Amino acid sequence: MAEENLHDSPATALDLHSCTHGQLLALMEELGQPAFRAKQIEDWVWSKGVGDPAQMTNLSKALRDALSERVGAAGASELARQVSEDGSRKYLLGFSDGAAVECVGMPSPRKLSVCVSTQAGCAMGCAFCATGRAGLVRSLTAGEIYEQVMHVRNDFNSRVTSVVFMGQGEPFANYDETLKALRKLNDPDALGIGARHLTVSTCGLIPQILKFANEPEQFTLAVSLHSTIQKTRNVLMPGVRRFSLVHLYAALGEYVNKTGRRPTYEYALIGGVNDTEEEIDSLCDFCRGTLCHVNIIQLNEVSGSPFKPSTPEKAQQFVERLARVGVEATIRNSRGADIDAACGQLRQRVR
Ligand code: SAH
Ligand code: SF4
């Protein structure tokens, strides 16, 4: 039993995807190795996608063995995958405790975008969201978040150019691990993805939006709006009912003042629910005169849900009406529209 604990304990095993450069340097020192070995190991992990020390062929056999004894990865295994006609690949990854999440790789010429999950399930209960229905299983660790990025990177054997935190779960309900993951992805010693190419999407948790505004990096913020009429939003997004639109508006103003950056508002059009004249007018009022970009998204149908997508004409109408009040809006291209998505939101998000 004691021995089993020793092997399983994350405290004794170093996760190469989670550890800091400093921790790796300390380990090298402990093993009597020169400091540049840390950089070599990071190069294997982040540039070559190799996490198994046994395969790090420019290290001595003795160091490989010593590392193998010390290293334990967060360890995701691929449980299923779906490949879209447009080249997107969606994966279901499982962790050792049985929790499973989806992530997606979306290639385009010279680019590879990855969409990651931050929690297995979600506690927010949005009425139109497949993930929200099942409730929260657990939050992911930072290591488990970029494990997803590395999985996609390795599968495409290509550099990842952007990551969106728009998979399962609410990133700001798992703030610290999300931020750790963002920093690691941004770290030049790890994947080195520019902060502006790292986007976090929140359903609107105000305290965390304000906290995020004070982080030094220029990460991109997306906020799921879906309606700017409180009554409608309460029905669609019951988990954020306590963060009213009035307060959200003020918090976003503060975010913009503080950062000078443009938040993206996500708005999935649901026929007859949030695509009415009253809703368009209200959205225009919410956005007018503010720094923002609106993403109009077609709802992905979730089986058994009463909500149906709106029409492409409505989407066009939203864009035109917003343009009239000086607000930039785009209709998101659907990626992987042919892959059956249990987690419908994964499909349409690449900027
Ligand atoms: N929890 C975060 C991030 C994950 S969800 C959030 O809600 O922002 C990513 C995006 O997918 C959100 O904008 C969410 O509202 C949207 N989404 C969820 N279900 C959807 C569906 N069935 N169709 C279209 N978008 C959906
Ligand atoms: Fe959670 Fe986002 Fe789905 Fe809402 S839309 S239930 S916040 S994952």
- Residue 131: nearest ligand to its CA? 2
Instruction: Quote the CA–CA distance of 100 and 13 in Å, as a whole number.
Output: 22
* 58 CA → ligand 2 middle, Å: 44
Q: How many CB atoms lie within 10 A of CB 97?
A: 9
Please report which confidence band the pLDDT of residue 319 belongs to, taking 50, 70 and 90 as the band edges: very high
CB 141 less than 6 A from any atom of ligand 1: no
- Cβ-in-10-Å burial (0-12, 13-18, 19+) of 120 comes to buried
* 203 CA → ligand 2 middle, Å: 7
62-89 pLDDT tens trace: 999 998 888 765 578 899 999 998 899 9
Which amino acid, one-letter code, is at 177?
E
CB 51 less than 6 A from any atom of ligand 2: no
Name which of 20-29, 153-162, 340-349 the model is least confident about: 340-349
111-170 pLDDT tens trace: 999 999 999 999 999 999 988 888 999 999 998 998 999 999 999 999 999 999 999 999
Task: Give the β-pairing of 136-139 and 119-121.
Answer: antiparallel
Which residue, judged by its Cα, is nearest atom 12 of ligand 1? 224
Active site residues: 102, 343
Beta-carbon contacts of residue 245 (< 8 Å; ≥ 6 apart): 228, 229, 230, 233, 286
Greatest Cα pair distance, the chain, in angstroms, is 70
Cβ atoms of 286 and 263 closer than 8 Å: no
* 275 CA → ligand 1 middle, Å: 17
Q: Mind listing the domains of the chain with CATH numbers?
A: 2-72 (1.10.150.530), 77-339 (3.20.20.70)
The mean pLDDT value for 249-271 works out to 97
Instruction: Quote the CA–CA distance of 295 and 222 in Å, as a whole number.
Output: 9
Mean model confidence pLDDT for the chain: 89
* 45 CA → ligand 1 middle, Å: 31
3-state secondary structure of 192: coil
**pLDDT the model gives residue 326:** 97
pLDDT tops 80 at residue 56: yes
Instruction: Quote the CA–CA distance of 121 and 119 in Å, as a whole number.
Output: 6
In this predicted model, which residue has the larger pLDDT, 69 or 193? 193
CB 128 less than 6 A from any atom of ligand 1: yes
* Pick from 152, 176, 251: nearest CA to 209: 251
| CA contacts within 13 A on the Cβ side of 172 | 22
The mean pLDDT value for 250-270 works out to 97
Most confident residue range from 48-57, 222-231, 302-311, 324-333: 222-231
Cβ atoms of 150 and 51 closer than 8 Å: yes
CB 302 less than 6 A from any atom of ligand 2: no
Which residue, judged by its Cα, is nearest atom 5 of ligand 1? 166
